[in-house]
Structure 1
């Protein structure tokens, strides 16, 4: 098994961050898996057409979607809540070709699908990789970034609240498949690899909006753990039946989205509707006793009551 070892200084310095690159990687892997399953949606079909025309992109995405060891240059630790995709891609391009090819070969050792790495032979490996992720960002992630960011920020706010009240053990609970394995260690994987020792720069926790997938980003002494956020985008769909028909699909979608406390502005972004529409639905749900608003600083966060929770369990 693989442990992440955190001493007191490492725990104190640990924090949350956002990564447009990690979000792009997560979505490209999900779309590539859709293609492999033979049931591609419109975005996966667009990706398939691109990969048919670009052997480098096809080889890279085949590898990262079928390995337990991501090449280091695609798994770059972010540092803050304001990380920019341009900065992450610049760091990717700065990795020398010989280093990139070495980590590609290591990644291939842990792949569970066949595939060569001849696509990585030409010069400019990381420049080409950065171009792949730049296009993936522009085509598939950037148009929906505000909504994706809202999901991730809501996850971080939830975990930060748990952290303040109970500490890191409870805040990390429910992140992917990891669990505490001792007073100073987190079990990251059941695979046998070298343990990771986190120093005084701490561990950076980075959510993404996919429903699964977690990985480490390593650039010692900096380490980041990427994990699926609570309330991922795929969970916001509500079938127009049962309780949803009774209370209305708009109000049902809001109840579904309130798995964690959320502001009206965040709900508008998450659901792709106007703030006025959200405010009207929230007023109705509040009057019915299904939601309640609680002020935190200058913002009001809405959450479900016990009645709201009961209704939400019956949403399709």
Structure 2
């Protein structure tokens, strides 16, 4: 007999689509990376990162984090709060973890299965102290194994948010969710996500936060009440995350406008910000800005402000130069 699939389902009122927002979360990526460390075969795209950080972790006790974030199944929600700003800061997110009510943390620890029961019981016996220990360990783990790599992950996720925001604005919810992930489907006024448990509820005016991820690839994840509804899905282009350096510049184009400007123009296959380009190109934002000014004056790129960010994209003339080269 075929097993019936289960779903988490959110019911949208007419104005709930307008409350969809995108964000990404450094602490979510940090927590997700714990599973990557323990099961790298499952997330083999991140093997370069695993090889780089494992030697650094010899003196760091991650046993309590591993117990609360097992390799499969439920992990405690309090370590991955729903982002409350489009681009949250790790320190601010960690502060939210520290402020978790002890009774909530104890209850969530009790829902974890497959972990060392002695570690879980120690946490639940004094959850206030347990939350403080977990936050301190997350801080040390970030400093040792993740902070150095965050700018690269940030650039990937920033590009994904930009692309998906345009998709939502142009085509609405139906187009957005049509290719978000095979486990995600839009059903008229409902968004369904395949899970191992059943849940259905109206969004109720809270909005839905869509969070692209690199380290949770290739899976999805959800959060429901008492947290703000959140859907985590794999970002496009995760396979390029650990590719070194800027994209190659076509020789003819490099000869025409210079190698660095050719690389920038090639990198603008998708719109990007100055800061994201700087991280990818391993140049200063000031240097990138100077090159973008020249490309803009030459009619090869255009700029558009979206909120606090300025996005650069190739013009049709820029597209034709890259394609011809």
Which TM class, normalised by the smaller chain length? 0.7 to 0.9
- Who is 1:199 aligned against? 204
Please give the alpha-carbon distance, in whole angstroms, between the structure 1 residues aligned to 2:91 and 2:249: 44
Per-residue deviation, 1:2: 0.9
**Aligned match of 1:45:** 55
**What is the aligned partner in structure 1 of residue 118 from structure 2?**
118
Structure 1 CA distance, aligned partners of 2:294 and 2:302? Answer: 16
Matched, 1:32 2:32: no
* Range that drifts further, 199-208 or 178-187: 178-187
Equivalent in the alignment of 2:229: 223
Aligned-residue offset at 1:200: 0.1
Task: Report matched runs for 1:262-301 at 5 Å.
Answer: 262-274=272-284, 292-297=300-305, 299=310, 301=312
Q: Which residue of the other structure, out of 210, 213, 221, is the alignment partner of 2:219?
A: 213
Whether 1:13 aligns to 2:19 is yes
1:14 and 1:201 in contact (8 A); partners too = no
**Rounded Cα–Cα distance in structure 2 between residues aligned with 1:182 and 1:57:** 37
Equivalent residue number for residue 148 of structure 2: 143
Deviates further, 97-106 or 162-171: 97-106
CA contact (8 A) 1:34 1:44 kept: no
Matched residues in 2 for 1:240 and 1:285: separation?
A: 17
What is the rounded CA distance, in whole Å, between the counterparts of 1:228 and 1:310 in structure 2? Answer: 32
Structure 2 unaligned residues grouped into runs of 5+: 1-5
Give the Cα separation in 1 of the matches to 2:241 and 2:34. 19
Contact 2:7 2:197 in 1 (8 A): yes
Corresponding residue for 2:95?
90
Match of 1:81 among 70, 79, 86: 86
- In 1: Cα distance, 2:323 partner to 2:132 partner: 49
**Secondary structure at the residue paired with 1:3?**
strand
Q: Distance in 2 between matches of 1:310 and 1:69?
A: 50
Contact map agreement 1:75 1:218 (CA 8 A) in 2: no
Q: Do the aligned partners of residues 273 and 190 (structure 1) sit closer, same or farther apart at CA in structure 2, a change above 3 Å counting?
A: same
* Partner of residue 302 from structure 1, selected from 283, 290, 313: 313
Mean Cα displacement is larger for which, 130-139 or 209-218? 209-218
TM-score normalized by the length of structure 2: 0.73
Q: Give the one of 170, 180, 184 matched to 2:189.
A: 184
Show the counterpart of 1:106: 111
TM-score (norm 1): 0.75
| Contact 1:206 1:226 (8 Å CA) reproduced | yes
User: C-alpha separation between the residues in 2 aligned to 1:295 and 1:126?
Assistant: 45
What is the root-mean-square deviation of aligned Cα atoms in Å? 3.9
